[in-house]
Amino acid sequence: MNDLLPGELSSDMAPIETWQFVERATREVFSRFGYGEVRTPVLEDTGLFVRSVGEETDIVGKEMYTFEDKGGRSLSLRPEGTAPAVRAYIEHSVSNQEPLTRWYYVGPMFRYERMKTGRYRQFYQIGAEALGSKEAAQDVELMDMVVQLLERIGLKDISLNLNSLGDDACRPAYQQKLVGYLKSHREELCEDCQRRLETNPLRVLDCKNPKCQAVVQAAPNILQELCEPCKAHFDEVKRKLDALGIRYVVNPQIVRGLDYYTRTTFEFIAAHPALGTASTVGGGGRYDKLLKALGGPDVPAVGFALGMDRLTLLLKESGQKFSDPPDLFVAVADEGSADAAFTLASKLRKEGLRVEFDTRGGSLKSQMKRADKTKARFTLVLGQAERESGKAQLKPMAGGDPIAVSLTEVTQAVRSAPQAPAPQATAAQG
């Protein structure tokens, strides 16, 4: 689990400003698509995840933080966001209030993972769920939303991998065929996959173990076993992606870790060494059967989740910074001006400027050093002369001539001063 810190403080994680930038971009892009934010508790009844994610998945089987509360109930820290969103949708009878619901969430998830690059025990996801439409257009809308978000935050080299898992009509036969094939290669599979063969054979397809990957290369392909309606749905998804100019790779090994997917599944995979094996930045798919299975209405749905830790790590690796330096540093020239400078800083903040003031006092030299460090756009030194004349100098920190200002018009002067191409500030404003 990590601490997220502001500014340039050293940490393995991206600075908080990078996280805030991604969050702002998410809200902006998702609201363009008509998605509203939901915030659900970080704790849920353990049974919710057992019934939705699936008992045999790694997430539920090995990775949940589960405990008994004082009332003897079994609770779990949420390992993912879809089940809580669906629980809220059912609990508030949303389907009776609107036929089509589009939600997104941003927040922490918890999994007791083995320690690896880019894998944490508290991590953050951005996710969205669309409930009420069974159409391919809905799947593509979600993928388009991710693509637009990735573009908005400036992440490139992330490829969309697409698959279909079929449905109740065609998957069982495929699964049988797959199990037959895998059994004939049982000895070549890793220990986990030998177990998955009995419990969750589709998961063998996305095992990262090279031994298993070699076996999987020649495994039966689900896309060749789809029934007519599933095939038509998949073709329509591809046609619509093409129409939007969204590039993708068909990859029959994208099965996703959770039990509840049907038909479309997809993953966004980054080609970046910083992530090591954790190169999947997000994924999702259709889960038409989940709501009914959880005792809700028979409503089709599709969703995705993106890992914010990985998105911010990629932005950090790309060298982008999103700090928001102060507009102004107010420095004190002499002891007698300390109160006036402190009051001036307060007034300017009330007027909307971002103002730094060194509360420790100290020599003018040490204050200027601090001003440099904060990367403020301007400094204003207040001393007896300035107090008496009511005038001061705004000194641009990036160089250039000082600007003479009246002490009553500092805010206007800072605002109307030509924007020096302040390094790093631009991305944060967007």
Q: How far is the CB of 21 from ligand AMP (least distance, A)?
A: 17
Bridging pattern class, strands 328-332 and 378-382: parallel
Alpha helices in 226-337 (DSSP H): 228-244, 290-293, 308-317
Give the tokens for residue 208: 């990262």
Q: Shortest approach of ligand AMP to residue 48 CB, angstroms?
A: 15
Per rule CB under 6 A, is residue 192 in the interface with ligand AMP?
Answer: no
Which residue in the set 61, 257, 297, 396 belongs to the binding site for ligand AMP (CB under 6 A)? 257
- 65 in contact with ligand AMP (CB under 6 A): no
Q: Which of residues 359-398 bind ligand AMP (CB under 6 A)?
A: none
Minimal distance in Å, beta carbon 164 to ligand AMP? 17
Between CA 93 and CA 73 the distance in angstroms is 24
Q: Which is nearer to ligand AMP, 15 or 282 (CB)?
A: 282
Contact 341, 331 (CB under 8 A): yes
Contact range with ligand AMP by CB under 6 A, out of 110-118, 170-178, 364-372, 377-385: 110-118
Q: Which of 24, 119, 211, 347 binds ligand AMP (CB under 6 A)?
A: 119
SS3 category, 185: coil
Which position among 111, 171, 233, 395 is part of the footprint of ligand AMP (CB under 6 A)?
Answer: 111
DSSP state of 209: -
Q: Cβ distance 379 to 393 under 8 Å?
A: no
Question: What length does the chain have?
Answer: 430
| Separation CA 271–CA 288 (nearest Å) | 31
Minimum distance from CB of 52 to ligand AMP (Å)? 12
Q: Does 282 help bind ligand AMP (rule: CB under 6 A)? A: yes
CB-based contacts of 288, cutoff 8 Å, min separation 6: 134, 167, 262, 263, 300, 301
Considering the complex, state which of residue 46 and residue 393 has its C-beta at the smaller distance from ligand AMP.
46
Cα 13 to chain centroid distance, Å, stands at 14
Nearer to ligand AMP by Cβ, of 308 and 380: the residue is: 308
Stretch that binds ligand AMP, among 237-245, 275-283, 363-371, 410-418 (CB under 6 A): 275-283
Taking the complex as a whole, how short is the minimal distance between the CB of residue 303 and ligand AMP, in angstroms?
10
Nearer to ligand AMP, 59 or 392 (CB): 59
- By the rule CB under 6 A, 281 interacts with ligand AMP: yes
CA dist 89 → 93, 258, 280, 301, 347 (Å): 6, 19, 28, 11, 47
Residue 159 binds to ligand AMP (criterion: CB under 6 A): no
x/- site string to ligand AMP, residues 289 to 328, per CB under 6 A? ----------------x-x-xx------------------
Contacts of 361 (CB under 8 A, 6+ apart): 332, 338
Query: CA-to-CA distance for 393 and 378, rounded, in angstroms?
Result: 9
Sequence-distant (6+) residues with CB within 8 A of 154 are: 315, 318, 320, 427
Q: Does the protein bind ligand AMP through residue 120 (CB under 6 A)?
A: yes
Range in contact with ligand AMP (rule: CB under 6 A) among 112-120, 145-153, 235-243, 402-410 = 112-120
User: Which 3 state secondary structure label does DSSP give 47?
Assistant: helix
Q: Which stretch binds ligand AMP (CB under 6 A): 2-10, 24-32, 119-127, 384-392?
A: 119-127
Which of 133, 148, 251, 280 touches ligand AMP (CB under 6 A)?
Answer: 280
CA nearest to 285, candidates 203, 196, 163, 167: 163
Piece of the chain touching ligand AMP by CB under 6 A; list 170-178, 280-288, 332-340, 396-404: 280-288
Binding site for ligand AMP (CB under 6 A): 80, 111, 113, 118-120, 123, 125, 257, 280-283, 305, 307, 309-310
